[in-house]
A = this chain, B = another copy of it.
């Protein structure tokens, strides 16, 4: 038994040297492999492809083994057959590698005896040698500032952090986030968690200044008490925690067990966890991104849950109202004062001065009427949040000019930062080819400008309601401590 190597955030996310064990000597193959990925992503440290065969790949010398490398090696990526992992892991430990990321699958998650015993062997090597392990059966680290990634993901860094037991999830979340203004400074897919566990990564991100929002996809947690304490520290620090806790239905528990060999825990225990820590519970990978958008971009912070709804289309306004109410937001009637002001801007073409507000059709409605309504509502003390909807396909369906969408978006982008209330836009997803073009353009403009945008009212209402709940919970917690 050796003492485990102490690892810090820097060791995981900014290693100074990386060995790629199992790099191909085939130039074309390795260009799409780990070595190529790191070079392409801008890794600035020392990089060592390792393979018993070959001499050089992508301009780098190939080493026959990790121990043949002359300089020290901080971090090794193992991309070899599962059966070779134990021997190569021992070599890494002998070389003094601090962290090995075992990409390879074929361990306990297979449910087969060979896989299980292979995982036990890996575990005992970690215990014997003290080397630290990411995985096995995982994609590992995405760290734009450290030049590390595992896929074709955006290079832009940001204040979001992600810890995910599923590799498929981490790629999607980072990718989807990048189209919504959510950028991850640090993300990790950690798979079977034979050594480093969710709680270890969680501790790193909680203590990291860059990371201001933490998202977790979890199947099992090993040290529940430590995990809970870290969640409470997030609350004190004001770092919102967004969590998808998987494996809490009977069938989900079985699935998690065979996916990563995790013990998922019980619904009751996790309900208590969410109730006590204020962690924001979500139920799908897409919702993780939606929730982060609300937390990062809904600004200024909503002071309450009273929503004004503004948009074209009577039925969609009614449906939106009910979606808000069903998730605990309020869509109150306007005060006589607000109503009188709104009535002054309504036209014969259909603007309606009630909540939900129906703005008039045509250019005047899309532009001037829209802006006026925002200004009036933003000044109304009975409203905390403004939700607006634009259907970019209206012109495809009803004729008219696609420019109307631009006018509405122009109007929104012109004024949203000057208003004293947070605004969120629901830009329904393009279902027609023409509509899709418009949506993409409008979506990108809004994301670039920092306007909060959602694709469906249902998602918007849910995540905004949870955001308000979170702030209320945090305020109570902070006041209680004082």
Contact = CB atoms under 8 A, between A and B. Distances in A.
A317 B175 contact: no
Given A152-B399, A172-B397, A176-B431, A250 B325 contact: yes
Given A286-B456, A436-B436, A458-B283, A254 B166 contact: no
B175 A332 contact: no
A466 interface: no
A312 B168 contact: yes
Interface stretch (A47-55, A292-300, A349-357): A349-357
Interface stretch (A63-71, A104-112, A362-370): A104-112
A152 B322 contact: no
Interface residues of A, number: 86
Nearest to A257: B354
A210 interface: no
A96 interface: no
A9 interface: no
A410 to B, nearest CB: 22
A326 interface: yes
B326 A249 contact: yes
Contact of A259 (B169, B284, B318): B318
Interface string A368-379: 000000000000
Contacts of A105: 349-350
Contacts of A249: 321-322, 325-326
A35 B429 CA distance: 30
A38 B380 CA distance: 45
Contacts of A171: 394, 397-398
8 contacts: A166-B313, A166-B315, A176-B431, A251-B332, A256-B318, A259-B315, A283-B326, A429-B429
